[in-house]
Amino acid sequence: MNSLALMRETKHRKLLISAGLSWLFDAMDVGMVSFIVAALAVEWELGAHQIGLLTALNSVGMAVGAAVAGSLADRYGRRAILLWTLLVFSAASGLSALAASFAALCALRFVAGFGLGGELPVASTLVSESVPAPERGRAVVLLESFWAGGWIVAALISYFVIPDYGWRIAFVIGALPCFYALYLRRAIQDSPVYRDTADRGRRLTIRARIASVWSASYRKSTIALWILWFTVVFSYYGMFLWLPTLMVLKGFALVKSFQYVLIITLAQLPGYFTAAYLIERFGRKFVLVTYLLLTAACAVWFGNAGSAGMLVAAGACLSFFNLGAWGAMYAYTPELYPTAVRSTGVGLAASFGRIGGVIGPYLVGDLVARGTDVKTVFFVFFTAIVAGAFALLILGPETKGVDPDARAG
C-alpha cells in the first residue's frame, strides 16, 4: 500500500470512528429511555398508556428532526447539521434530569428526539459519501454498529446506576455528548463529493428536492424505501423500547430484566459485523431480505418463549438479525439518490419510518393495557417485518457498486 492510499484509509477510519461515536451517544440516549421508563413506571406510577406516550413522543421528535435535518444538510452541509443536532439532543437529555412532571419530561423527550432523529441520517450520508464505492456499504454498516455500543453502555448505566442512584443521574450522563461536539467540530469535514456539488444543492428549494425524490426516476425506489423504513422502525421501537417492561410482565424482577436485556443487547454486535461482511459480498437486498425474514421468525420465537433461557436465546437472535438489518438499511438508503438531494431522500425515508416508531411503542402500550398476551404482541411485529421484506424484494433496486450520481445523469 502506497503512502497516499494509507493516508486515505487513515482519514476514512478517523471519520468512521468520529461519526460512530456520535452515533453511539444517540443510541445510549435512546437505550437509556427504555430502561428509565421501566423505573419511572414504578416511581411515578405510570400506566401502560403513559409509557407508550412518552416513548412515542420521542419518536415524533425523531420524525420531525430527520425530515428537517435531512433537507438542511443538503443546503448547509452534512458537518454543520451533524454538530447542531448533536448539541440539541444532548442538551435536552441533560435537562430531562430536572423534569418535575410527566408533561415536562414528555416535552424534553420530544426535543431530544428531534436532535437524535436529525443526526442519524446526516451521519450515515456523510460516511456513505466519503468512502470509495467498493467499501461504502461495509463502512455504513460498521457506523451503525456503534449503535450496539451505545445500547450496551445504556444497559450498563441502567443496570449499575439506576437501581442505586435513580433515573435522573442517567439523564445527566446523557448530556455529556455536548462536550464531544467540540472535538467533532475539528475532526470531520464535508465529503469531497458534496463540496463539488454543494452549489447545485443550495440552489434547489425544499419543494424541488422533495419533488426530485418522488420523480419518475426514483418513485419506485422511494416507495420500497419508505415501506422498509416504516416496518423496520415500527418493529424495532415497538419491541426493544418495551423489552425491559415486557420482561417484568413475564414475571422477572426489574433488575433481573435489565440483566437479561444487557445480554440480549450484546448480540447486536455480531449481527452488525456479519451484515458488514455479507453486504459487499452478496449485495444490499440479499442481506436486508434475509435478515428481516429471520428477524420475523425470531419475533414469533420470543413471543412464545416460556423459560428464562429460551427468552434470552430468542431475544439474542432477535437482536442479532434486527440490528444487522438496520445496518444494511442505513447503507442502502443513501445509495438510491444523487448527491444534491441525497440527505433529503435519506431524511424523508427516516422521517416516515419514525412514524412507525411512534405507532409501535404506543400500540404495545395499548395492547398491554388491554391485557393482550406477549405472544400476540410479537405476532404483530412478525407480520410487519415480513411485509417490509417483500416490499423491498419486489420494488427495491440493488445498489451494490452503483454510482447514484451516474444513475441520475
As a residue count, the chain comes to 409
Which among 340, 392, 381 is positioned nearest to 359, based on CA atoms?
381
How many Å separate Cα 136 from the centre of its chain?
A: 18
Separation between Cα atoms, residue 56 and residue 60, nearest integer Å: 6
Q: How far apart are the first and last CA of the chain?
A: 33
The Cα 91–Cα 146 span in angstroms is 21
> pLDDT per position in the chain (409 positions), as tens?
555 455 566 777 888 888 888 888 888 888 888 778 777 877 888 777 787 788 778 888 989 999 999 989 998 889 899 999 999 989 999 999 898 888 999 999 999 999 989 998 899 899 988 888 788 889 999 998 888 888 888 878 877 888 778 888 888 888 888 888 778 878 788 888 888 776 666 777 888 889 999 999 899 999 999 999 999 999 988 887 777 666 666 666 654 566 677 788 788 889 999 999 999 999 999 999 999 999 999 999 988 877 778 888 888 999 999 999 999 999 999 999 998 889 999 999 999 998 988 888 778 878 877 888 888 888 999 999 999 999 999 999 998 887 776 665 5
The second-level CATH assignment, the architecture, of 3-184+202-408 is Up-down Bundle (1.20)
CB-count burial class (<10 Å; 0-12, 13-18, 19+) for 307: exposed
Q: Which parts of 267-408 fold into alpha helices (H)?
A: 268-282, 284-304, 308-332, 339-369, 374-395, 404-408
Q: Are 77 and 194 in contact (CB under 8 A)?
A: yes
